[in-house]
Amino acid sequence: MGHLKVKVAETPYGNADSPIHGSIFVKPEISEMSGGELLDLLEHAKSNPSAYYMQSQDGNLHKEFSPLLKDIPGSLPFADPVFRDEPEAVNLWIGSSGTTSRLHNGM
């Protein structure tokens, strides 16, 4: 997956999809890079002044990351009784420990 191009948010505060100062929402800088480049940036996150967060949505696991599906179980026994149905969308988000995200739920 290292060669796959992904869209990556870059912010100075790590808030790629979270408001700043309580209620101000600012869109992050979005750039495209390979998955390998993103992982290199995350590995050296402490020496980098920006925070990086791969956050595409709308079912990106089945679209952008479909090669990973063979390594992921089709069902999660602990979650099946709770959700009672197949998920509408499954997303993969990757970021460093300095990133934050709003609460996401599908209920």
pTM summary value? 0.71
pLDDT at res. 33 = 92
With a cut of 60, say whether residue 4 has pLDDT above it.
Answer: yes
pLDDT at res. 104 = 62
99-105: Cβ within 8 A, 24+ apart:
99/11, 99/14, 99/15, 99/16, 99/51, 99/52, 99/53, 100/14, 100/15, 100/16, 100/18, 101/16, 101/17, 101/18, 101/53, 101/55, 102/17, 102/18, 102/19
Give the pLDDT confidence of 10-43 residue by residue, as tens digits.
888 777 666 777 777 777 888 999 999 999 988 8
Give the pLDDT confidence of 36-89 residue by residue, as tens digits.
999 998 888 777 778 888 877 788 888 888 888 888 887 778 877 887 877 778
